[in-house]
Amino acid sequence: MEHPPPIRSFLDKTADPDNVVINIGPSHPATHGTIQIVAELDGETVKRADVHCGYLHRGFEKESENQTYHKVIPYTDRLNYCSALNNNFVYAEAVEKLLGITITPRCRVLRTLLCEYNRIADHITCVAASVMEMGGMTAFLYMMTVRDYIFEHLNHLTGARLTYSYVRIGGLARDLPDGWLARLEEILQFAERYLERIHGMLDRNRIFIDRTRNVAKMTTEHALYWGFTGPTLRSTGLAMDLRKDAPYLAYPELDFEVPVGINGDNYDRYYVRMREVDESISMVRQCVRMLPGGPVSVDDPRVTLPEKERVYTEIEALITHFKLIMEGIRVPAGEVYVAHEAPNGELGFYLVSDGSARPYKLHVRSPSFVHMGGMHTLLEGYQVADVVPTFGSMNMVGGECDR
Amino acid sequence: MNPYAVFLVFLLASIGVVGLTLALNALLGPRVKPSATKLEPFECGAEPIQQRNVRKLPIKYYPVAIFFLLFDIETVLLFIWAGSSGHRELAAISLGSFLFFMGTLVLAFVYLWKEGGLEWQ
Amino acid sequence: MAMMEYMTTKKDELVGWIRKFSLFPYPFVTACCGMEFMAVSSTLYDTDRFGAALPRFTPRQSDLLMVVGTVSHKEAPILKRVYDQMCEPKWVMAFGACATSGGFYRNYAVLQGIDKIIPVDIYVPGCPPRPESVIDAIMMLQDKISRERHPIFPFEEQQPVKT
Amino acid sequence: MVYEAVIRELGGLYDRTWDSFGMLVLELRAENLFALVSRLRDEFGFRLFLDVTAIDYPQRSPRFDVVYHFYSRDHNRRIRLKVPVPEDRPEVASLVSLYGSARFMEREAHEMYGIEFTGNADLRPILLYEGFVGHPLRKDYPMEMEQPIVTYRK
């Protein structure tokens, strides 16, 4: 070979000669294209698995150290690209905490609404992909239709289908266009109707149950030891959810339950996600009911751009506009760790700033990376065919895992 | 049209179609000498870790292969039976013999099922 | 001689017409464009209308390599190997800004465009591209396929082999 | 509150402590890291190992700051440990025996900053590839210095 292989696995030397060592490799539809599982098989059962990630490492930290605070926002979209808005809001809250800015009530409720709305899209994508990998093509197509309506709807609000960059430090890019909330209600009813069909197709489907019930089981201690959070941890029975434990944004005013599984296997992870979609739909409706009026962005000259009319007429607005665009926001020195409940688990941003216009260090605590760390314990002892549903139920998103 | 002519036409048609596609492929397809990487087994883009493909296979695969063969050939015979069920004088005999044949196979299947031959572990 | 010219162009058009409507893509999906690939190949924007939706997940049975998403330097040998193991005739589509030119990741980890390691036939702009532009790219690729030459007789000029 | 209990109980193990936006921060030397973390886990219920990363201060004498985050489910509190480590001997005790999620995290911190985790046998590169020279997240590593594996076409 003219170039050395990118990874070295301990399995090629320590596997016993009778077993087969195969790559469930980086370019595999079931591993979402970026995870390599080197598995030692004895016949059909996986004896030992060695999970490699890093095939989608795009240098997020190095890039964010060389961009100003506003220019980092598009990079945060590409972390968990199934729910880009959640990453935006965590990053924005980290910077706002350092700046000591409290966002306007309308922005607070709108961010919560969009967080839950994007959680619906993320869970739908995860369940659709993992069910399609098990052969449920119809469920995949139903869910892709629902998700596509959500994409078009968010495109109407933010201008992009997938990578929104809708947040600004201290507020949002723009307010809701008229007719957006009416269309939102239509999509929610549409989603509920389609998700009933998915429940009908999958919940008591003999094949689905045989392939996912009691497969990749784990206890709560095992999950905590391996650092799992989010639906993967809740499927083992522990109701640990940041929206209840450390409520942020407008979650204290919303009433919702935290769905919890029984014995932490693939079926429970699927069911916890579907129940969370129902909870999110009801939360979005509550947010729409209590959406207050008022501005979306806080009018603090350090962060928010003045309106265009004032920029063309007054010299101060022009100067603040120019300074904000050219030099970016000056964030006082300090460090902060902000964690929200992203669809996959606890997404934490550790931001260190040295007072200049660029973040000194921005580390992302990504749930998918930790799930990949512990996933080999869920693969060993089960069959090769169970690697696909187990991996699908962990919902590993490449951008968030490798950053 | 004696029946053998029909069979001859059928034979010529099948050989013709296969031959045509192969010829066109050889004629029109790009002739590129396969490189070393192309001949290696495809393992999702990564380098195959073990090159030994001749090795002892676990015994569990053998009974599954036999059961598949058993019930697959049975369906082939199903077609013959279906074809012959139309003739008046043949129908009774073919139905009787077929039911006897299917009965023994179903017996074998039930025994196999109870014995746990279909469970993998 | 004119009849021969006419015959060969008709033959090339026929072969091109057959090939362009039976594209089997190998979706080499890595990043966010994969979400757009799922959207473009499902019901609302359907690439199956152009005969290009049935994804084959092995390079042996596919002839269109859709490189969807960012290719990092760790992924480059994987991409090179998949491209080498594809059967002729093969085409490559760079799906999205990252595959085309590395996108806005200008750092140590990302390969600045897949045409540095494999020949690319069609580039799709956008991050991620809208489904319409993906379908437009497939139609452009089909035009390109139908214009290709397939020399059989000695007097036809040889087609340069893409390295 | 668990923070007062931690400050009172583990007095000898850390040097400085302050509050960062509602989260207790302990600064300690590398030697008593393992003791502190094992007591935090057993006595105060910090069972979830969130994160380990490092910060590079090229001008400061102990150049790196290895930063840990933990979360306690029972008290619903987070804690941050900062361990200043010199450049010539960036060694820290590995927490692999206490937490499973430490394996991947330490491999990432090792390859990105060059922090040695004594006791972690499997420090293969995880986000980068074999044969990558240097630690990219250090401030002195140029951003665009690529080390391609595959040779480029002409």
Q: Which CATH architecture has domain C27-146?
A: 3-Layer(aba) Sandwich (3.40)
Q: Do A162 and C35 touch (CB under 8 A)?
A: yes
- CA count, 13 A, side-chain hemisphere, D56: 20
**How confident is the model over B91-101, as a mean pLDDT?**
85
Q: Do A162 and C70 touch (CB under 8 A)?
A: no
- pLDDT of residue A186 exceeding 90: yes
Q: Do A29 and C130 touch (CB under 8 A)?
A: no
How far does the CA of residue C19 sit from the closest CA of chain A (Å)?
A: 25
For residue B27, give the nearest of C58, C84, C152 by CB distance: C152
Residue C82 contacts D where some CB pair is shorter than 8 Å? no
Q: Do D143 and C109 touch (CB under 8 A)?
A: no
Of residues A145 and B92, the one with the higher pLDDT is A145
Question: Which residue of chain B is at minimal alpha-carbon distance from A3?
Answer: B47
Tell me which residues of chain C, numbers 89 to 108, contact chain A at a CB-CB cutoff of 8 Å.
104-105, 107-108
Q: Going by C-beta distance under 8 Å and a sequence separation of 6 or more, which residues neighbour residue D49? A: A227, D68, D70, D95, D98, D99, D101, D102, D105
Does an interface of 3+ CB pairs under 8 Å exist between D and A? yes
Question: Which residue of chain A is at minimal alpha-carbon distance from C131?
Answer: A161
Of residues A18 and A167, the one with the higher pLDDT is A167
Instruction: Write out chain A residues lying below 8 Å of D123, CB-based.
Output: none
Residue A250's alpha-carbon distances to A113, A184, A284, D90, in angstroms, are 9, 19, 11, 43
Q: How confident is the model at residue B37 (pLDDT cuts 50, 70, 90)?
A: confident
Residue C58 contacts B where some CB pair is shorter than 8 Å? yes
Best of A2, A57, A76 to disrupt the C interface by mutation (most C CBs within 10 Å)? A57
Q: How confident is the model at residue C161 (pLDDT cuts 50, 70, 90)?
A: low
Q: Do D148 and C73 touch (CB under 8 A)?
A: yes
Q: Do D148 and C111 touch (CB under 8 A)?
A: yes
**How confident is the model over A348-355, as a mean pLDDT?**
94
For residue A57, give the nearest of C43, C74, C78 by CB distance: C74
Residue A113's alpha-carbon distances to A273, A283, A364, in angstroms, are 18, 7, 23
Overall domain count for chain A: 1
ipTM: 0.90
Instruction: Write out chain A residues lying below 8 Å of D23, CB-based.
Output: 337
User: Would you state the pLDDT for residue A2?
Assistant: 65
pLDDT, one tens digit per residue, over A118-173 is 999 999 999 999 999 998 899 999 999 999 999 999 999 999 999 999 999 989 99
Exposure string (b/e) for A5-34, b if CB count within 10 Å is 16 or more? bbbebebeeebeeebbbbbbbbbbbbbbbb
- pLDDT of residue C96 exceeding 90: yes
Q: State which residues of chain D have pLDDT below 50.
A: none
Residue % of chain A over a pLDDT of 90: 80
Question: Which residue of chain B is at minimal alpha-carbon distance from C163?
Answer: B32
- Contact partners for chain D, using 3 or more CB pairs closer than 8 A, are A, C
Of D117, D43, D111, D51, the closest CA to residue D80 belongs to: D51
Question: Which residue of chain D is at minimal alpha-carbon distance from C77?
Answer: D150
Residue C142 contacts A where some CB pair is shorter than 8 Å? no
For residue A373, give the nearest of D23, D103, D137 by CB distance: D103
D2-118 CATH fold: Beta Polymerase; domain 2 (3.30.460)
For residue A144, give the nearest of C42, C72, C130 by CB distance: C42
**How confident is the model over A273-281, as a mean pLDDT?**
95
Q: Do B46 and A5 touch (CB under 8 A)?
A: yes
pTM confidence score: 0.91
Question: Which residue of chain A is at minimal alpha-carbon distance from B62?
Answer: A43
Please report whether residue A48 resides in a domain: no
User: Would you state the pLDDT for residue A253?
Assistant: 93
Does an interface of 3+ CB pairs under 8 Å exist between C and B? yes
State chain C's mean pLDDT as an integer.
Answer: 88
For residue C85, give the nearest of B28, B30, B38 by CB distance: B38
Domain limits, chain B: 1-30, 57-121
Question: Which residue of chain B is at minimal alpha-carbon distance from C8?
Answer: B28
State chain A's mean pLDDT as an integer.
Answer: 91
Instruction: Write out chain C residues lying below 8 Å of D141, CB-based.
Output: 108
- pLDDT of residue B67 exceeding 70: yes
Q: Do B120 and A22 touch (CB under 8 A)?
A: no
Q: Do B45 and A27 touch (CB under 8 A)?
A: yes
User: Would you state the pLDDT for residue A156?
Assistant: 94
- How many helices and strands in chain D, by DSSP H and E? 3, 7
Q: Do A26 and B50 touch (CB under 8 A)?
A: no
Domain limits, chain D: 2-118
pLDDT, one tens digit per residue, over A188-206 is 999 999 999 999 999 999 9
pLDDT, one tens digit per residue, over C5-30 is 888 888 888 888 988 888 999 999 99
- pLDDT of residue A238 exceeding 70: yes
Cis? peptide before C128, omega within 30° of 0: yes
Residue A213 contacts D where some CB pair is shorter than 8 Å? no
Q: Do B42 and C84 touch (CB under 8 A)?
A: no
Residue % of chain A over a pLDDT of 70: 100
Amino acid identity of A277?
V
Please report whether residue A53 resides in a domain: no
Question: Which residue of chain C is at minimal alpha-carbon distance from A65?
Answer: C107
User: Would you state the pLDDT for residue A393?
Assistant: 92
Q: How confident is the model at residue C160 (pLDDT cuts 50, 70, 90)?
A: low
User: Would you state the pLDDT for residue C163?
Assistant: 58
Rg (alpha carbons) of chain D, rounded to whole number: 17
- pLDDT of residue A1 exceeding 60: no
pLDDT, one tens digit per residue, over A31-74 is 887 899 999 988 889 999 999 999 999 999 999 999 999 999 99
- pLDDT of residue A315 exceeding 70: yes
How far does the CA of residue C27 sit from the closest CA of chain D (Å)?
A: 21
What CATH number has the domain bearing residue A360?
1.10.645.10
Query: Which three-class secondary structure string do you get for chain A?
Result: CCCCCCCCCCHHHHCCCCCEEEEECCCCHHHCCCCEEEEEEECCEEEEEEEECCCCCCCHHHHHHCCCCHHHHHHHHCCCCCCHHHHHHHHHHHHHHHHCCCCCHHHHHHHHHHHHHHHHHHHHHHHHHHHHHCCCHHHHHHHHHHHHHHHHHHHHHHCCCCCCCCEECCEECCCCCCCHHHHHHHHHHHHHHHHHHHHHHHCCCHHHHHHHCCCCCCCHHHHHHCCCCCHHHHCCCCCCCHHHHCCCCCHHHCCCCCCCCCCCCHHHHHHHHHHHHHHHHHHHHHHHHCCCCCCCCCCCCCCCCCCHHHHHHCHHHHHHHHHHHHHCCCCCCEEEEEEEEECCEEEEEEEEECCCCCEEEEEEECHHHHHHHHHHHHHCCCEHHHHHHHHHHHCCCHHHHHC
Instruction: Write out chain A residues lying below 8 Å of B48, CB-based.
Output: 23
Q: Do D100 and A227 touch (CB under 8 A)?
A: yes
User: Would you state the pLDDT for residue C162?
Assistant: 63
**How confident is the model over C141-152, as a mean pLDDT?**
86
- pLDDT of residue C37 exceeding 70: yes
How far does the CA of residue D93 sit from the closest CA of chain C (Å)?
A: 29
Instruction: Write out chain A residues lying below 8 Å of D125, CB-based.
Output: 54
Residue B101 CA to residue B95 CA, distance in Å, equals: 10
Domain limits, chain C: 27-146
**How confident is the model over C45-54, as a mean pLDDT?**
84
User: Would you state the pLDDT for residue C8?
Assistant: 83
- pLDDT of residue A384 exceeding 60: yes
Question: Which residue of chain D is at minimal alpha-carbon distance from C109?
Answer: D146
Q: Do C74 and D147 touch (CB under 8 A)?
A: no
Instruction: Write out chain A residues lying below 8 Å of B46, CB-based.
Output: 5, 7, 23, 25-26, 36
Instruction: Write out chain C residues lying below 8 Å of A77, CB-based.
Output: 32
CB pairs under 8 A between C and D: 41
User: Would you state the pLDDT for residue C158?
Assistant: 65
**Burial of B86 (C-beta count, 10 Å sphere; 0-12/13-18/19+):** exposed
**How confident is the model over A291-318, as a mean pLDDT?**
89
Residue D123 contacts A where some CB pair is shorter than 8 Å? no
Instruction: Write out chain B residues lying below 8 Å of C78, CB-based.
Output: 44-46
Q: Which domain holds residue A70?
A: 60-299+328-402
Q: How confident is the model at residue B63 (pLDDT cuts 50, 70, 90)?
A: confident
How far does the CA of residue A384 sit from the closest CA of chain D (Å)?
A: 23
pLDDT, one tens digit per residue, over A69-98 is 999 999 999 999 999 999 999 999 999 999
Q: How confident is the model at residue C159 (pLDDT cuts 50, 70, 90)?
A: low
Best of A53, A161, A401 to disrupt the C interface by mutation (most C CBs within 10 Å)? A161
Residue A101 contacts D where some CB pair is shorter than 8 Å? no
